[in-house]
Amino acid sequence: MTRFALTLEFDGTPFVGLQRQVTGPSVQQAVEEAAERVTGEKVTLHSAGRTDTGVHALAMRSHFDIEKDITPFRLMEALNAHLRPDPIAVTHCEEVDEDWHARFSCVGRRYVYRIVNRRAPLTLDLNRAWQVPQELDHEAMHRAAQALVGKHDFTTFRSVQCQAKDPVKTLDRLDVEREGSEVRIHAAARSFLHHQVRSMVGCLALVGMGRWREERVGEALAARDRQQLGLNAPPHGLYFVEAIYAQDT
């Protein structure tokens, strides 16, 4: 039995999320079915993170175990051939030790959220960014974001459906930058609560629009009350960027 680590890039638009769901097609289902067609074996895909409907990934790390004797390059090529026309690509494949786990060995995760701040309709970025027509003050957003950095109880920014046992997380980075009409929010932590990034982005957007004072973000955090959440940003602007492992640091 060989454990293969995969790096997946995908457009989340047509999927109900990364994990298998009874409600529709998932990235996990597509990759597992492709692997079965390649190897003749049923596999279970394990991934560094979970993504909701419409959320994308630039480099999601995943793994599965197979008995078939095959090189990583041939496996990658075969998987990509069988994944078409789904918008999923295996961009890297390698053999790893049997005790390496895409989820449990991961020591850090990075996301980026893209906002296109313009009035004209989106064309190339349709379903790949959140369009906000009101002018955003990205510097105010960045200042407000710093209240969320560090170890906190993120109950306010946690989905009511979140299955995590503990709402306390340590946020290592939350930076807001602008390049032209695009505002990007970069978030990094060991792990995140369900909807945490989207909830933080939504509140920062309210600051950028001038509808919230900068200090209100910290006040919402301190309230530890989901009812204090101002806005949950839509999923299609969110991208899983990187999974970090001890050997990478």
Tokens, residue 103: 């989820």
- From residue 147, give the alpha-carbon distance in Å to each of 43, 170, 175, 176, 223: 43, 12, 11, 13, 13
* Closest residue by Cα to residue 122 from 22, 234, 207, 232: 234
Buried b (16+ CB within 10 A) or exposed e, 152-173: bebbbbbbeebeeeebebebee
Determine which one of 52, 97, 137, 225 is catalytic: 52
Known catalytic residue at 52: yes
Active site amino acids: 52
